[in-house]
Amino acid sequence: MQRTTHYMILGLLLSVALFAGACVAPAPGGAAQPAAGDGEAAPAEGGYVIGVSNTLVGNGWREQMICAIKAQATASGLVDRVVVVNRNGGPTEQIADLENLISQGVDAIILNPTDREGLNAVLESAIAQGIVVVAVDQAVTAEGAYVVTNDQTAYARIGAEWLFEQLGGQGKVAEMRGIDGVPADTDRHNGFLQALEKHPDIEVVAEVFTNWDLSTTAQQALDLISTREIDGIWTSGGDYPVVEQFQAAGKPFVPIVGADNNGFVGMLLELEDDGLVGAAVTNPPAIGAVGVTIALDALTGKNPPHETLLTPALFATGDREGLEALYAPDEQPGWSTYVNIPPYTSYNGSADVSACKGPGE
């Protein structure tokens, strides 16, 4: 069940950096201040069509991101239709999908980008045609695009720092990354390296790319714990399959860092007496809903900031109250229960997100 009051207590730390160079850092849970606009759009009354481009199918985080987009579009009362283009692919496929959305005459495009710069031409073409472009989860550099992200560098850094400190500053660790070359993976790796610089006695004995695929993550984890001496594991969100492989192999747990996936959070609570120690770093897929609000603000002349950055929080073994507030027993293991992001979301918590219905559906 959704625990809205707990989320308010947890206080997602929110900072907003303005594209024009000005900076505003609102208090946790507070409203972001408007940026100085590049020109005012004429206010409108709704009836918008929002296009969504996603290129990672079968991933629970991305599925929840799309559902959050639909939920916020419905809650806004300003959107008539959400058009989702959803398939596995890289920049080439995403460019084709973006061109498809442009040809359908959408008013805004929300995309989770496969490349920081490789999509710029098609995105800038959309912007030139009056389409609002919002990149969520990962950044793009297209001129005029809005960027709404969880701070991926900080995500990795604070998790890795926790792990290295848990090991007393020395030991052998594995870095289980995401998809090679995509912006979020690059940013997370940089954050991991920042933490590593402060702990020279930590040895990285394995670096693998999971492609954010749970079955791949599970197999790689089993190979690692069966063939190497490992004192700790940092994951780019593929966490609970790693725990499962320790259980399957009958091996003692090592400290594990993951995301706020419901399955992993539940394990941190349930397996503490069995020796599992870990940390969940927030990376809410409801960032998609934030993207909807930014897009609608731009369409209705409210001049939102061009960059919106959500700062992650860490909840680790020993903080049982915090972990219990994150955990929702009735939700699927690959979903985050961190679905309310004030002041951007106005839907009815995880109930509306789980329904996964856009306007008119």
Question: Does residue 50 contact residue 85 with C-beta atoms inside 8 Å?
Answer: no
Order of strands across the sheet with 14-17? 23-24, 14-17, 307-310, 146-150, 132-136, 108-111, 48-54, 79-86
Q: What is the pLDDT of residues 81-117, one digit of tens each?
A: 999 999 999 999 999 999 999 999 999 999 999 999 9
Q: What is the pLDDT of residues 267-278, one digit of tens each?
A: 999 999 999 999
Cβ neighbours for 243, distance < 8 A, ≥ 6 positions apart? 253, 256, 264, 267, 271, 276, 278
Q: What is the distance between the alpha carbons of residues 179 and 307, in angstroms, rounded to a whole number?
A: 24
Confidence check: pLDDT of 296 > 60: yes
pTM for this prediction: 0.79
Q: What is the pLDDT of residue 332?
A: 85
Q: What number does CATH give the domain 152-281?
A: 3.40.50.2300
Domain boundaries, the chain: 14-148+284-312, 152-281
CATH superfamily of 14-148+284-312: Response regulator (3.40.50.2300)
